[in-house]
Amino acid sequence: FTAVYTDMLSVKLKVLFFEFTLVPFEKKPKKKRKKKVPKKKKEKTDTKTKKEKKPSLVKKLSDKKGVDGLFSMLAEIVKLASTTLKGLFTSIVIERFDLSLTVVGEDAADTALKYGKLCGVVYPAVSVICSTAKCEDYNVNVTPDFDDEAKMRTSAHAQFYIRVYHIFRYGLKAAI
C-alpha cells in the first residue's frame, strides 16, 4: 500500500505488477432505466421514507481536509491499532512513514500554543502506530512558522505492506 496525504487522501494498492487506486473513490455514472410504474404503486413509494446510507469510515476520513482531517485519520488508526485490529497491525510492516506539519497562528503566542497542542497529539499517536506495527523508517516533523503570511501545511506519506496470509488469518479469526 502507498498512502499520500497533502490536501486529499490517496491510497494505492499494488499486488505483483497490478496497481489499484482505492481512495479517492471514482464513481462511474449509472445508467438510469425508465420503468413504467402504475399510478397506485407510485403513490405508495412516495409516502415511504427512503433509508439514507451512512458513509463509510474511509469516506468520512477522506472528506476531511487539512490538519483536522489528518488528526481524525491518526486518531482512527491509533484506535484500531490499540484495540480491535491489534493482531493485524502487528503483521504490518511500515517501510517508510513521513509526516510533516507546519503550525501557524495569528501571533507568536497563538503559534506556540498550537505547536504545543500538536506535539502533544502527533508524537504519541505516531509512537503507538510505530510500536504496534513493525516500523523500519519514520520521520515526524512538526515546525512552527512565525511568518505573518504563512499558511498551515500538512503532508504525510506512508508505504507499508502486509502478507496476504495474515489478512486471511485475521479475517477468518474475526469471522469465527
Q: pLDDT per residue over 115-131, tens digit each?
A: 998 899 899 989 988 88
How much is the pTM?
0.65
d(CA 39, CA 8): 46
Tell me: pLDDT of 62 over 60: no
d(CA 2, CA 6): 13
Segment 38-66 mean pLDDT: 53
Segment 126-149 mean pLDDT: 89
Mean pLDDT, rounded, of the chain = 78
Confidence bin at 44 (pLDDT 50/70/90) = very low
d(CA 99, CA 155): 6
Least reliable range by pLDDT among 6-10, 84-88, 100-104, 159-163: 84-88
